[in-house]
Amino acid sequence: MYKYLFLLPLLFGTVSLAAQTPEYGGYVKYAASTPGTITVISNGFGKKMRESGKDANAGAFYAVLFRGIADSRYQLPLVSDEAGKKNDPIVTGLLTGGYGSFVIEDILVSQEAQTRKVDGSKGILTVHKITIDYDALRKYLEQNGVIRKFGY
């Protein structure tokens, strides 16, 4: 029996990794906005195009949620408590694919093979122009108790 104990650290490692929010560090820049929507230019990186696209979208949503978009009408973040809410299951669900229903448009602007300087990993860098339904996103967060409805 004890010969399988080596599996336990592996198990704990997997679970703790799954519980952490990945880092979203791509460039996110304001492009345009209308009342209720915002368009940003966002970079993504991944081994494949699909992964890179996901990374760009998640980065854009992370910036809208926790950073705010400078030079736009949405310069204040939707969620003011980053430390307290970034591991909220609603937020992690949103950043790991749940963002799809809030994306009005996702245009691939450019792509190029690249070796990342930080860790030397090889992959594809993609630049996306993403339009987000900001009002719908806020309502979703309000309904799920991540942020308060207007008022106190």
Partner 1 sequence: MRKEPHLYLAFVVLLSLCFCGRTALGQTTSGQTTNGIKPKIIVIPKVKDGENLKTVYDSDPNIRVAMAKIDEAFLLRGANLISFDAKLKEAEQNRLINQSSGNQTDYKSTVLANAGSDIYVEAEINVVKHTQSNANSVSVILEAYQAGTSNYLGVKEGRSRINRTEDIGLLTAQAMDTITEPFLALMQLKFDDIVANGQSVYVQFSLADNSKYTFDSEIGNPPKYLSEVLDEWFQKNAVKGQFNDQGVSGKLLIVSDVHIPLKNPNNPQANYTGVNFFYDLNRFLQSQGVKARREIGTNNKILITIL
C-alpha–C-alpha distance, residues 82 and 11, integer Å: 28
C-alpha triplet 71, 105, 47: angle, nearest 5°: 95
Least distance between partner 1 and beta carbon 40 (Å): 15
Of residues 103, 80, 96, the one with CA closest to residue 24: 96
Least distance between partner 1 and beta carbon 32 (Å): 13
Which regions of 27-120 does DSSP assign to beta strands (E)?
28-34, 37-46, 103-115
User: In terms of CB distance, is 12 or 25 closer to partner 1?
Assistant: 12
User: In terms of CB distance, is 94 or 127 closer to partner 1?
Assistant: 94
C-alpha–C-alpha distance, residues 70 and 28, integer Å: 10
Cβ distance 127 to 56 under 8 Å? yes
Give, in order, the Cα–Cα distances in Å from 30 to each of 38, 124, 146. 8, 22, 24
Least distance between partner 1 and beta carbon 134 (Å): 8
User: In terms of CB distance, is 104 or 108 closer to partner 1?
Assistant: 104
Least distance between partner 1 and beta carbon 102 (Å): 16
User: In terms of CB distance, is 25 or 36 closer to partner 1?
Assistant: 36
User: In terms of CB distance, is 7 or 118 closer to partner 1?
Assistant: 7
Q: Which residues bind partner 1 (CB under 8 A)?
A: 1, 4, 7-8, 11, 15, 19, 35, 73-76, 80, 85, 87-91, 135, 144-146, 148-152
Least distance between partner 1 and beta carbon 43 (Å): 25
